[in-house]
Amino acid sequence: MTREEFILIRDELTKVVINFEILQRKIHFLKCSYFIEYNEELEQELYLKYENQYLSQAIIKKADGESLESIAEYLESCQKEFDIIVRNFQNKYKNYQEMAKRLDHYTATDMEKLDQEFADYCSLYHPVIKAHSTPLESNIYSTLASLYRTGNVVGFRNVLLESKDSFTSTAVALEEYDVIASFYKESLENLKALTIKCGKEFPLDRENIFIDEAAHIREQTRLRENNYKLREANISLHNDFKLNFEKDFSL
């Protein structure tokens, strides 16, 4: 493989990597917006879904002949598990609120500059592109990618500045072209497939809810109808639980 052929493959990969990274930032922003916008419905869904699951399993255990003591221990463990789930949910909401508050200070131009800064960094030091990344460089990438995807402009720039002396520059030898190009081609196929997959999944498949009021109302209605069905099932399960255990259980 000639140097020119190798550079063409690397340049193509660089474009795909940068587009994918920008897409990941967009996805994170949309998740943040979705979580904040529909937090009430999502929290209700969380409680109903898990409570229904726990009630149902307890009833099945009773039918299978498990002892009341064993079932009581199961429900106690369920309560502990759910306490952790709720804390994680609340922490995510708090983090997303902080992210949204931080982003309020930035304009579209600010985010375009951030995209360009990360693109410039990626073209030189992204672990998929740089042939000889050190473990330290890979760790720096993980930190920068996290800051970038959450829109932490100040944190991103500080880490980039603090890490500038940690980046290495190692040329790719002619005898390495074929092996590295093979890795590049595999990475290209994987990233292109992932990009297509992301476009068909949440939250990109619901992006229009943030730009179209009718779509927003439809999504809110969908969530509320889903919770109504869960609530109906919840009422039925509570009745069955009381028939089986002569008492109730709730989270």
- Give the pLDDT confidence of 140-198 residue by residue, as tens digits: 999 999 999 999 999 999 999 999 999 998 889 999 999 999 999 999 999 999 999 99
Q: What is the pLDDT of residue 131?
A: 87
The number of CA neighbours under 13 Å toward the Cβ of 95 is 15
**Chain mean pLDDT for the chain:** 95
Q: What is the pLDDT of residue 95?
A: 94
Per-residue pLDDT, averaged over 77-90, amounts to 97
Per-residue pLDDT, averaged over 94-112, amounts to 92
> What is 130-177 written as a DSSP string?
-TT--HHHHHHHHHHHHHHHTT-HHHHHHHHHHTGGG----PPPGGGH
Q: Model confidence at 19, in pLDDT bands (50, 70, 90)?
A: very high
Query: What's the rounded Cα separation, in Å, for the pair 62 and 218?
Result: 40
Q: Model confidence at 250, in pLDDT bands (50, 70, 90)?
A: very high
Query: Is the full-model pTM beyond 0.75?
Result: yes
Task: Please compute Rg for the chain using Cα positions.
Answer: 25
